[in-house]
Amino acid sequence: MEVFWFIPTHGDGRYLGTREGARAVTYAYCKQIAQAADDLGYAGVLLPTGKSCEDAWIVASSLVPATTNLKFLVAVRPGLTMPTTAARMAATLDRFSNGRLLINVVAGGDPVELEGDGLFLGHDERYELTGEFLTIWRKELAGEEVDYTGDYLKVKGGTVLYPPIQKPYPPLYFGGSSDAAMEVAAEHVDVYLTWGEPPEQVAQKIARMRKLAAAKGRTLRFGIRLHVIVRHTEEEAWQAADELIAYLDEETIASAQQIFSRMDSVGQKRMTDLNKGDRSNLVVSPNLWAGIGLVRGGAGTALVGNPDQVAARMKEYAELGIETFILSGYPHLEEAYRTAELLFPRLNLSKPAGAGDRAFISPFGEMIANNKIPEHRVAASSRS
């Protein structure tokens, strides 16, 4: 199991859907989160993409020299960049980061936003374009000179002169729940991602993706994107979940749901179906809460509970085949620490190459009377 964190370049704060408790996302703040994740032993961080976000490639490039082991999962956008250009960008960042680049393939799910970026293709057409893009991208980064003519893309003599460190190229991550998306994933990607759906739905996706990949002579790894609200007690965790949406009113929820309804992303529809815009019944599976998806696009569910409960739910997903957990929490700096301190000791984590013991042995806290190292104790308030 490996755990990633998240750089919130589209906004952060203590509450959803309000300026109350909001936090400016500056370079200094993103740097704090990245360095905390690096020090705590997270394997990597996901950077979001889209018009609401700071540019992921620039952010990742600026954070690479501020970190040591952390990997950066950065989006390529077929249709918004050309495959040869994207391949050169990937090769450069992979070399300059000493092999710490991961690629998130994003075909897009909001037609209105895509039209604003100059892309006027329907849902299935975008995935056909994505398949052509990845065919060219993979070959060039593997060292081939590419001549290619497809329905959407044409390249003659395409090459990447400076190769990436990772061979044959930085690993490809991809999430998509439609038939068209799954076909592309089976053909091209290394890690198939799902948003945090209930385990039975995730199991169905994994089984289908394994079958599709096997038909093409390939195998896949699997990851999941979730928020997390973990506290020392279950009661505290659910209270924190309620507080996160304390400032949401029905008008704000309805406005967000209307925007989601225009999107052609099947994954977004599956997220929206979990909450249905109704805040009265948001627990969709044991310890799985759909409140974040009331107003947040994309990943809309959180694991909520005490450390043993959340770790148990993660292990259930791991038994289905999930290896990579991409987590986040509000606000992201504090929750990076809380999640690592409460969950990491309960998980069988892969240790990032070059990481020291600091990231995997919980700090022992302040010395007692300047001389004695504290021992693990049961909280006095919880003793019988």
Q: Which two tokens stand for residue 39?
A: 């020090």
* Local confidence band at 369 (pLDDT 50, 70, 90 cut-offs): low
Helices and strands (H, E) in the chain, number of each type: 12, 15
Which distant-in-sequence residues (6+ apart) come within 8 Å of 110 by Cβ? 50, 259, 262, 263, 264, 265, 297
25 close to 54: Cβ distance less than 8 angstroms: yes
Give the total number of structural domains in the chain: 1
Q: Is residue 327 over pLDDT 80?
A: yes
Asked, for residue 298, whether it belongs to a domain, the answer is no
pTM: 0.93
Q: Catalogue the long-range contacts made by 210-215 (C-beta closer than 8 Å, 24 or more residues apart).
A: 210/321, 212/182, 212/183, 212/185, 212/186, 213/185, 213/186, 215/186
Asked, for residue 259, whether it belongs to a domain, the answer is no
Asked, for residue 270, whether it belongs to a domain, the answer is no
For the CA atoms of the chain, what is the radius of gyration? 21
Asked, for residue 318, whether it belongs to a domain, the answer is yes
At residue 348, the pLDDT reads 85
* Local confidence band at 350 (pLDDT 50, 70, 90 cut-offs): confident
Asked, for residue 59, whether it belongs to a domain, the answer is yes
What's the angle, vertex CA 363, arms to CA 361 and CA 365, rounded to 5? Answer: 155
Q: Which two tokens stand for residue 166?
A: 């990772």
Asked, for residue 102, whether it belongs to a domain, the answer is yes
Which distant-in-sequence residues (6+ apart) come within 8 Å of 151 by Cβ? 128, 132
Show the domain range for 91: 2-246+307-382
Mean pLDDT of the region 158-172: 97
At residue 378, the pLDDT reads 53
At residue 14, the pLDDT reads 96
Asked, for residue 110, whether it belongs to a domain, the answer is yes
Q: Classify each residue of 39-77 as buried b or exposed e, where b means 16 or more C-beta atoms within 10 Å of its C-beta.
A: bbbbbbbbbbbbeebbebbebbbebbeebebbbbbbbbb
Mean pLDDT of the region 325-331: 98
What are the start-end ranges of the H helices in the chain?
27-40, 56-63, 83-96, 111-116, 123-141, 179-188, 199-215, 234-244, 250-262, 266-275, 307-320, 332-343
Mean pLDDT of the region 301-316: 98
134 close to 199: Cβ distance less than 8 angstroms: no
Asked, for residue 275, whether it belongs to a domain, the answer is no
296 close to 2: Cβ distance less than 8 angstroms: no
Mean pLDDT of the region 283-305: 97
What is the residue type of 345?
A: P
Residue at token pair 């053909």: 187
Residues 183-229 have pLDDT tens digits of 999 999 999 999 999 999 999 999 999 999 999 999 999 999 999 99
Q: Which two tokens stand for residue 245?
A: 């949406």
Q: What is the CATH number of the domain that holds 322?
A: 3.20.20.30
Which distant-in-sequence residues (6+ apart) come within 8 Å of 383 by Cβ? none
In angstroms, the CA 137 to CA 128 distance is 14
Q: Of the given ranges (22-31, 184-193, 366-375), which has the lowest mean pLDDT?
A: 366-375
In angstroms, the CA 106 to CA 166 distance is 21
Q: Which two tokens stand for residue 275?
A: 């909450």
* Local confidence band at 374 (pLDDT 50, 70, 90 cut-offs): low
Q: Which two tokens stand for residue 162?
A: 């400076």
* Beta partners for residue 166, in sequence order: none
Residues 48-105 have pLDDT tens digits of 999 999 999 999 999 999 999 999 999 999 999 999 999 999 999 999 999 999 999 9
